[in-house]
Amino acid sequence: MIKLLSVAALFAGAATLFLGCKKNNIEEIKAFYTSESFPIQEATNFETLFTDSGQVRFSLKAPKLLRYEADGRDYIEFPEGLELVKYDEHKKVISSITANYARQYVADRKWEAKNNVVATNANGDTLKTEILYWEEKEEKIYTDEFVKIIRADQIITGIGFTSDQKMQNWKIRDPKGTIYVSMNNQQPSADTTQTTNRNEKTDAAPLKGALQLNKPTQ
């Protein structure tokens, strides 16, 4: 009888230990593998068009797309970057954005682009930054980070940027300086070269011609 009781107690202890471990493992698994950990949709070489009243407004291309559900706030992730192009009613390109990483919050209609972000408008002006936000409802784009705007005749740098989504009416919150570009194919004089602002990265400008550097604008 004593032996039987001992065996029964041993099995009861083992069962309790097993159930306890099983319960803890389940809790740990639930905590680790949340619904946000795995995408509910996945696509490669993704391309799509966004239309409004039968007219194409945007086109989107991405090497990879992942869709997640996180506490009722669905979002779409583009871990390998994207190219987003906006068109007017005549299907003419009026702006575009490329980035190495992006995320779209579906319900909020808000986009977040990161890492090597490049945005252009119909005039050929180019914005370069590391983080850029686009709010579709408000029809605006903005960032609090360092920005560089490359135009036909100048390069403008600063901190913080706001604009309409067409990038036509934009403003730099804290301008740092302006580099004026001459397209007359003349080499800058020695005096002009010596006034180069070393804080500016002039090698990023995809423009030909001599650089004429003036004092930073206020």
Mean model confidence pLDDT for the chain:
76
**What is the percent of the chain where pLDDT is above 90?**
43
Q: Among the residues of 138-208, which ranges form H helices?
A: 190-194
Q: What token pair was written down for 81?
A: 């970057």
Q: Is the pLDDT of residue 30 over 60?
A: no
Tell me how far apart the alpha carbons of residues 149 and 3 are, in angstroms, rounded to a whole number.
85
The CA distances from residue 52 to 27, 86, 88, in Å, are 46, 12, 11
Among 56-60, 81-85, 167-171, 214-218, whose mean pLDDT is lowest? 214-218
Q: What average pLDDT does the segment 193-203 reach?
A: 36
pLDDT tier for residue 204 given thresholds of 50, 70 and 90: very low
Q: Is the pLDDT of residue 106 over 80?
A: yes
| Class of CATH domain 41-213 | mainly beta
pLDDT tier for residue 173 given thresholds of 50, 70 and 90: very high
Q: Is the pLDDT of residue 18 over 70?
A: no
State which of 34-38, 105-109, 203-207 shows the largest mean pLDDT: 105-109
188-211 burial, b if ≥16 CB within 10 A, otherwise e?
Answer: beeeeeeeeeeebeeeebebeeeb
Q: Is the pLDDT of residue 5 over 60?
A: no
Tell me how far apart the alpha carbons of residues 5 and 84 are, in angstroms, rounded to a whole number.
73
Give the per-residue pLDDT at 187: 47
Question: How would you class 2 by CB atoms within 10 Å of its CB: exposed for 0-12, middle for 13-18, buried for 19 or more?
Answer: exposed
Q: Which of 200, 132, 120, 190 is nearest to 160 (CA)?
A: 132
Q: What average pLDDT does the segment 91-115 reach?
A: 93
Give the per-residue pLDDT at 4: 43
Give the per-residue pLDDT at 55: 84
Within 13 Å, how many C-alpha atoms sit on residue 30's CB side?
A: 6
Tell me how far apart the alpha carbons of residues 196 and 185 are, in angstroms, rounded to a whole number.
18
Which helix or strand (DSSP H or E) is residue 20 part of?
helix 2-32
Q: What average pLDDT does the segment 76-99 reach?
A: 92
Give the per-residue pLDDT at 27: 53
Q: What average pLDDT does the segment 109-115 reach?
A: 95
